[in-house]
Amino acid sequence: MKIVKLLPLALVSMALFSCQPNDPVDPHEEELITTLNVDLEAGGSTVALNFQDVDGDGGDAPVITTDKLAANTTYAGSITLFNESETPAEELTAEIFDEAEEHQFFFATTGASMFNYADQDNDGNPVGLSFELTTGDAGSESYTITLRHEPDKSATGVSGGDITNAGGETDIEVVFDVIIE
């Protein structure tokens, strides 16, 4: 008789102590982006803008390299992203593409260069993994490339590349100082 009375208590005790709480998994967890590579192609030649900060917000300064750009030239641009804090490095570009509705790149320049989106998400809004860059006259400029997570793509100006009303969170923002000759 004692076994019958203790069995329910034992089962409840086992259930309480054997179960670990489950942490909810966010399928859209933000990734650490340590590397942003921009390839610009015009007339069969490719130039690159590269940002790498392998330790993330750690103590080492990022390494930024830029090739010289040709004046008054239109480039087909593409962006690739990596998390190089892991071994092997994880390419994140496909994930950004797969979650295009939740991401948008924004491009700003201090000069006459112009950026135009060449890709869009399933809702017809810009993404920016592919773009067109048209440089102005010879000189120097700064290009700021910002990736926003969950921007309001229907907000005023956002589909045209204006970050002002985009909201969301910045995944990465890089300033490239470029020379145009």
pLDDT tens figures, 83-111: 999 999 999 999 999 999 999 999 999 99
Question: What SS3 string covers 63-131?
Answer: EEEECCECCCCEEEEEEEEEECCCCCCEECHHHHHHCHHHEEEEEEECCCCEEEECCECCCCCECCCEE
**What is the reported pTM?**
0.83
pLDDT score for 24? 41
* Spatial separation of the C-alpha atoms in residues 72 and 42, rounded to whole Å: 11
pLDDT (average), residues 29-51: 93
Measured CA to CA, the distance from residue 142 to residue 108 in angstroms comes to 8
Mean pLDDT of 3-11: 45
Q: Which residues of 131-164 are buried (b: 16+ CB within 10 A; e: fewer)?
A: bebebbeeeebebebbbbbbbebeeeebeebebe
175 — phi, psi (to 5°)? -110, 120
What are 53-69's pLDDT values in tens digits? Answer: 998 877 899 999 999 99
Instruction: Give the CATH fold of the 31-180 domain.
Output: Immunoglobulin-like (2.60.40)
* 22 compared with 153, residue with greater pLDDT: 153
Please report the pLDDT score of residue 29 as a whole number: 56
Torsion angle, alpha carbons of 40, 42, 46, 51, to 10: -20
Question: What is the per-residue pLDDT across 141-166, written as a single tens digit (0 to 9) for each?
Answer: 999 999 999 999 999 999 999 999 99
- Average pLDDT over the chain reads 88
Distance, CA of 41 to CA of 146 (rounded, Å): 21
What whole-number distance in Å separates Cα of residue 69 and Cα of residue 42?
A: 10
pLDDT above 90: percentage of residues in the chain: 78
Query: What pLDDT, on a 0 to 100 scale, did the predictor assign at position 56?
Result: 80
